[in-house]
């Protein structure tokens, strides 16, 4: 028997500043019991894979008791695990085992809304208009002679009106699906409940929280109309997200909530952190979520909208680094997540998309700050575009025709037949089918395979952990380069690492930055210089001391 020595967690309370966090979409990561659904024990079995990949922490999407209308972002019990995913005991074992491997655990918290099956909401429905039970949510009478029109013109992010009318005549607000009623965060019981929920999970050893819809909890007093809606303009209100003022997002009072949460986090040892999924009109307003008395991070989502061009990437990077300077906290980089089309596909899909996605990974991982990886990006998975409609489960699909299921297809681990080792040996089930092309993309197929995307990520993460120039927090230095090329340097006292990305149309000669240590495509050496192909990136290092 071999006894491995667990690498303990670093004692650094600032671990999150430069961490690589791996997002686990629990339902699609690994299935331990063969029901076709990923679960906590599946994650436990794969912890060594994540340790070997070289990430620092996992962020788990919601695994709480839920009717799963919105993939678990509709929580019915915030203090328990849905039987589909396991038990609280499994969760506790997972945290212990992850910590023993040096991996931290971030859980998702969903405070803007509950499930309509949450006991508070069922009690509110039973108790009727004007009751204390209804005061915890946002119930209102409608407009019009008989209250037959919604209280205002707010629209759901998933399409359609944000209000649903009950048989007793009242309406309730749901910024997402009707099965996700919005809580009233001006109610003291709501605030007390969530402070207690934070403690519940902190007591179980979690290292941080990802706060869902962190900008949404407070709605403007009087619930005023937006004045811009599908009825009047033919364009969806959600187009204003992150661009304009909305009375249901980014209200000043939301910051009071985080000022009350921070002392709770700080009262636990070991650097417990929180990252906001927040959308705000300007970088300045987004920056207000971050600071010593509020949250540690807010996702920088601009990479998700960046196109494959030097201008677009430079703008995203410069903006995010400027934001980081405003708040004095390093930025967070995100190329993909469970809500967006995978970046292989965004960059052109197929061969081209994959080449660019590999280059983008080296670009992101060379930047200062914290990087969030989405499960499967280390395998170069594309979006699955041809899922049959009847299998799609995203509640937005029925309302808008847009579906996020294509980035949530179960991970291929091994073997010749779908679902490629997603479940235990012999299991043929997976809640969404994996395409036949994923056989070649499985973890087993890519492990130890020179040039595979998985080995590229492993190599880059290993260098990121050990190279002195990447350990330094702070800025980057842009270097002069040919049009179509991005080049920047990170420097420590006696070593420099230069990242060069060729976004242009011809191969470029790279010289003077030292030796290549990792490249997303093969380099050819010519007279001491290196030829970097199109749609590729490489890191070069040299000693400067
Ligand atoms: C966040 C989640 C998304 C979910 C929504 C409602 O945007 O990332 O998946 O549908 O919140 O909770
Ligand atoms: Ca399962």
Residue ranges per domain, the chain? 15-111+188-218+253-461, 119-173, 475-543
Categorise residue 512: left if φ over 0, alpha if ψ from -120 to 50, beta otherwise: left
Instruction: Among the bound ligands, name the one nearest to the CA of residue 156.
Output: 1
424-469 per-position pLDDT tens digit: 999 999 999 999 999 999 999 999 999 999 999 999 999 999 999 9
Token code pair at residue 461 = 């993460």
Could you tell me if the CB of 70 is within 6 A of ligand 1?
yes
Sequence-separated contacts (24+) of 160-166 with Cβ below 8 Å: 160/399, 162/248, 166/125
The closest of 369, 366, 370 to 496, measured between CA atoms, is 366
Is 119-173 in the same CATH topology as 15-111+188-218+253-461? no
Q: How confident is the model at residue 3 (pLDDT cuts 50, 70, 90)?
A: very low
Q: Which is it for strands 104-109 and 57-60: parallel, antiparallel or unpaired?
A: parallel
Q: Enter the CATH code of domain 15-111+188-218+253-461.
A: 3.20.20.80
pLDDT at 229: 82
**DSSP annotation string for 66-108:** ---TTTT-S-SEEEEE-TTT--HHHHHHHHHHHHHTT-EEEEE
pLDDT at 238: 85
CATH top-level class for 475-543? mainly beta
pLDDT at 475: 86
Structural contact between residues 242 and 279, judged by C-beta atoms closer than 8 angstroms: yes
43-55 per-position pLDDT tens digit: 999 999 999 999 9
Token code pair at residue 261 = 């949460």
Catalytic residue among 70, 90, 207, 277: 277
- Atom of ligand 1 lying closest to residue 404 CA: 9
Categorise residue 529: left if φ over 0, alpha if ψ from -120 to 50, beta otherwise: beta
Q: Which is it for strands 297-298 and 57-60: parallel, antiparallel or unpaired?
A: unpaired
293-309 per-position pLDDT tens digit: 999 999 989 999 999 99
pLDDT > 60? residue 1:
no
**pTM greater than the 0.95 cutoff:** yes
To which CATH superfamily is domain 119-173 assigned?
Answer: Oligo-1,6-glucosidase; Domain 2 (3.90.400.10)
The single residue listed with the structure tokens 């749901």 is: 174
For residue 45, how far is its CA from the centre of ligand 2 (angstroms)? 12
In this structure, what DSSP letter does residue 173 have? E
Categorise residue 275: left if φ over 0, alpha if ψ from -120 to 50, beta otherwise: beta
d(CA 227, CA 245): 11
pLDDT > 60? residue 6:
no
Could you tell me if the CB of 25 is within 6 A of ligand 1?
no
For residue 423, how far is its CA from the centre of ligand 2 (angstroms)? 7
Task: Report which protein residue has its CA nearest ligand 1's atom 6.
Answer: 73
82 is an active site residue? no
| Radius of gyration of the chain from its Cα atoms, rounded to whole angstroms | 24
pLDDT > 80? residue 390:
yes
Task: Report which protein residue has its CA nearest ligand 1's atom 4.
Answer: 73
Spatial CB neighbours of 266, under 8 Å, sequence gap ≥ 6:
272
Task: Give the lowest-confidence range in 236-245, 335-344, 486-495.
Answer: 236-245
31 is an active site residue? no
pLDDT at 260: 98
Catalytic residue among 212, 383, 394, 405: 212
For residue 261, how far is its CA from the centre of ligand 2 (angstroms)? 33
Mean pLDDT value across residues 280-289? 90
Mean pLDDT value across residues 212-223? 98
- Burial code of 266-284, b = ≥16 C-beta within 10 A, e = fewer? eeeebbbbbbbbbbbbebe
pLDDT > 90? residue 20:
yes
429-438 per-position pLDDT tens digit: 999 999 999 9
Q: How confident is the model at residue 32 (pLDDT cuts 50, 70, 90)?
A: very high
Q: 518 by DSSP, 3-state: which?
A: strand
For residue 413, how far is its CA from the centre of ligand 2 (angstroms)? 15
Q: How confident is the model at residue 8 (pLDDT cuts 50, 70, 90)?
A: low
pLDDT at 5: 40
Instruction: Among the bound ligands, name the one nearest to the CA of residue 74.
Output: 1
pLDDT at 513: 96
497-519 per-position pLDDT tens digit: 999 999 999 999 999 999 999 99
pLDDT at 398: 84
How far, in Å, are 14, 215, 261, 305, 457 from residue 208 at the CA level?
12, 18, 12, 26, 24
């Amino acid at each position: 028997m071999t006894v491995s020595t667990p690498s303990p967690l670093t004692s650094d309370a600032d671990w999150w500043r430069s961490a690589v966090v791996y997002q686990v979409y629990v339902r699609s990561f690994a299935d331990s019991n063969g029901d076709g659904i990923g679960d906590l024990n599946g994650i436990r079995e794969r912890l060594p894979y994540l340790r070997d990949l070289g990430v620092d922490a996992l962020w788990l999407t919601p695994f709480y008791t839920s009717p799963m209308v919105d993939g678990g972002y509709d929580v019915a019990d915030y203090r328990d695990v849905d039987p589909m995913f396991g038990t609280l005991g499994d969760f506790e074992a997972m945290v212990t085992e992850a910590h023993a491997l040096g991996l931290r655990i971030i859980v998702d918290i969903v405070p803007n809304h509950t499930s309509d099956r949450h006991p508070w909401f069922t009690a509110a429905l039973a108790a009727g208009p004007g009751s204390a039970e209804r005061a915890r949510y946002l119930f209102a009478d409608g407009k019009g002679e008989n209250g037959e029109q919604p209280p205002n013109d707010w629209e759901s992010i998933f399409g359609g009106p944000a209000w649903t009318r009950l048989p007793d005549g009242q309406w309730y607000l749901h910024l997402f699906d009707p099965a996700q009623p919005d809580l009233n965060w001006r109610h003291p019981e709501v605030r007390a409940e969530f402070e207690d929920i934070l403690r519940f999970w902190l007591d179980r050893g979690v290292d941080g929280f990802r706060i869902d819809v962190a900008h949404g909890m407070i709605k403007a007093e009087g619930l005023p109309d937006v004045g811009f809606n599908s009825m009047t303009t033919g364009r969806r209100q959600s187009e204003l997200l992150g661009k304009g003022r909305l009375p249901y997002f980014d209200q000043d009072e939301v910051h009071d909530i985080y000022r009350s949460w921070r002392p709770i986090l700080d009262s636990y040892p070991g650097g417990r952190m929180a990252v906001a999924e927040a959308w705000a009109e300007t970088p300045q307003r987004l920056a207000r979520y971050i600071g010593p008395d509020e949250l540690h991070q807010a996702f920088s989502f601009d990479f998700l909208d960046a196109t494959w061009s030097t201008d677009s990437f430079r703008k995203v990077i410069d903006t995010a680094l400027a934001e980081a300077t405003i708040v004095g906290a390093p930025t967070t980089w995100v190329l993909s997540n469970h809500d967006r089309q995978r970046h292989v596909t965004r960059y052109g899909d197929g061969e081209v998309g994959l080449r660019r996605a590999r280059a983008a990974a080296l670009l992101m991982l060379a930047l200062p700050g914290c990087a969030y990886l989405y499960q499967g990006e280390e395998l170069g998975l594309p979006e699955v575009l041809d899922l049959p409609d009847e299998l799609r489960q995203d509640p937005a699909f029925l309302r808008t025709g847009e579906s996020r299921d294509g980035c949530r297809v179960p991970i291929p681990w091994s073997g010749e037949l779908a679902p490629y080792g997603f479940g235990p040996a012999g299991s043929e089930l997976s809640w969404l089918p994996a395409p036949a092309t994923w056989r070649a993309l499985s973890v087993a197929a890519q492990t130890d395979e020179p040039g595979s995307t998985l080995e590229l990520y492993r190599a880059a993460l290993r260098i990121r952990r050990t190279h002195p120039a990447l350990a330094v927090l702070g800025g980057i230095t842009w270097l002069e380069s040919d049009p179509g090329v991005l080049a920047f340097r990170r420097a420590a006292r006696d070593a420099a690492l230069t990242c060069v990305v060729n976004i242009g149309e011809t191969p470029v000669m790279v010289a003077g930055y030292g030796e290549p240590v990792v490249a997303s495509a093969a380099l050819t050496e010519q007279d001491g210089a290196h030829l970097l192909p199109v749609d590729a990136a490489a890191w070069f290092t040299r000693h400067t001391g």
